[in-house]
Structure 1
């Protein structure tokens, strides 16, 4: 388990490094609120959709096409969304329900989950993990767009307005544009792919620096209760329920472990970008990302230890 702990730390440590860099840059006034607004908009409208587009067209759809596992993963993700939303309606202030719900169900699968799955299971982990990540991107962005539209200040909440917020979401557009290229294996010019990769590689550093620049001790104290509640939902309760369901349905070995790693991934940086884009409580979103990323070092290793102790992986 020390090896797994080292792998988890190797994935999460750079995330924290960029977060703290954002804090430091804001403190020495190398970045300010205007930069954070502009950079967050660039990530939301440009670099992250490009990153998702590239992820879909590069996914090996044939190598890991398992209808039963993929179907369960999508259903578990949707169920997690509604469980988190239901709890938020009961226990969370109205204005923070959208951010709470998104933070509780939206995992950082493309970075943390995929890296750990590949590290533990090699090519199989990479293939299955890529397909899982590509499949769930639409779920994450569509469901997040719905719940954020409902609870964002001043947002129109009619069915037409919510549908418009979904179909106009740049991240959803990026995925949908990539589907025909991936399905029919349409080759793009190498110079175009290289340029797109340069552009997409700005996504995580920019998003994390913006999150760090937004963090402050006052905002963390103000949102601590709600942030901790959402983080517990994301890192403990929902992974426990989803992984138990997978075990009951007979998933074992690498499949069960990869499902767990994806269910137990910390909250994605995209949740901050989307919250800021719609005028929601992005400081709460930032706090949830920090708490869940820190917690992942403990919860991921404990969960894998439990699965290994039971002889299921």
Structure 2
């Protein structure tokens, strides 16, 4: 059990130390808010696509295309969304707050805080399955987020615009390039392989530091009840249901750790940006990101430790 404790701690502690570095960067004003925003954008459009490509490049595509895992992941996310929608409609009457709550509960920080866990536990060379799931789950997250926020602000979703954004999403483009390279048996020159490897290695540490630097706690008095509901649902209820179902259906190893990344990660950082852009309750959305990320230090450790002891990976 002590060994499992150490393994679980090593899986989550580096992430939160890097986030702490980001908070110190902000505290001592080494980066301003505008600089953090630009760096975050650079990581998303430059380093993340390269990381996605790197995780699929040279992998066994048959292993990465785990049909059972993909089907379970998609079904679980959709069921999670529908249950969240029904619950939020009962507990909250304000449309803008409804949209923010729904997004905060169903949409996890899968890429930024989920992938590092898989890396820490299985290494960079075993992430093809996780990368493939990112290319499947992220579009679903985005479609549901845009549709939800548009509906709750009284608008009508534009399918063409949603599809256009999905087609130009850097994560999707990076994954697509990796799949093409594998299927086409494309071999990069060694110099380019080194560049790709180095850029991929930079992506997650930089993203976590920027995440810490972007935290901004606003007043919680107005939204305290909804904030508590969202954080408990995101970090306890969703993982308990999702991971319990995953264990029941027999997922093990990297597949199970990938599902931990999907279901146990805190609220996605992008949910705040979208809430602000689409006239939702951005104050609630921002606080959900900050507080779920803070408490995830303990809850993610708990879920990893629990299922490690149960022999799931």
TM over 0.5: yes
Shift of residue 64, structure 1, vs aligned partner: 6.5
If the length of structure 1 is used for normalisation, what is the TM-score?
0.78
Alignment of 1:132-151 (within 5 A): 132-150=129-147, 151=149
Which of 153-162 and 183-192 deviates more?
Answer: 153-162
Residues matched between the structures, number: 296
- Write out per-residue CA displacement over residues 223-282 of structure 1, whole angstroms, 9 at most, x where no aligned residue: 665555444334433333334434444x2xxx435544333334279x325753784547
Q: Which runs of 5+ in 1 are unaligned?
A: none
Which residue in 1 is equivalent to 2:203?
A: 203
Shift of residue 89, structure 1, vs aligned partner: 4.7
Q: Is the 8 A contact 1:104 1:267 kept in 2?
A: yes
Shift of residue 32, structure 1, vs aligned partner: 0.8
Which residue in 1 is equivalent to 2:179?
A: 179
- Give secondary structure in 1 for the equivalent of 2:269: helix
Shift of residue 181, structure 1, vs aligned partner: 0.8
Q: How has the CA–CA distance of structure 1 residues 33 and 68 changed in structure 2, closer, same or farther, with 3 Å as cutoff?
A: closer
Q: Is the 8 A contact 1:36 1:213 kept in 2?
A: yes
Q: Is the 8 A contact 1:50 1:200 kept in 2?
A: yes
- Give secondary structure in 2 for the equivalent of 1:201: helix
Alignment of 1:13-28 (within 5 A): 13-28=13-28
Question: Residue 294 of structure 1: which of 285, 291, 298 is its match?
Answer: 298
Which residue in 2 is equivalent to 1:34?
A: 34
If the length of structure 2 is used for normalisation, what is the TM-score?
0.78
Q: Distance in 1 between matches of 2:4 and 2:223?
A: 32
Which residue in 1 is equivalent to 2:118?
A: 113
Q: Which runs of 5+ in 2 are unaligned?
A: none
Q: How has the CA–CA distance of structure 1 residues 248 and 145 changed in structure 2, closer, same or farther, with 3 Å as cutoff?
A: closer
Shift of residue 22, structure 1, vs aligned partner: 1.3
- Write out per-residue CA displacement over residues 23-51 of structure 1, whole angstroms, 9 at most, x where no aligned residue: 11111111111111111110121111111
1:262 aligns with 2:258: yes
Q: Is the 8 A contact 2:146 2:157 kept in 1?
A: yes
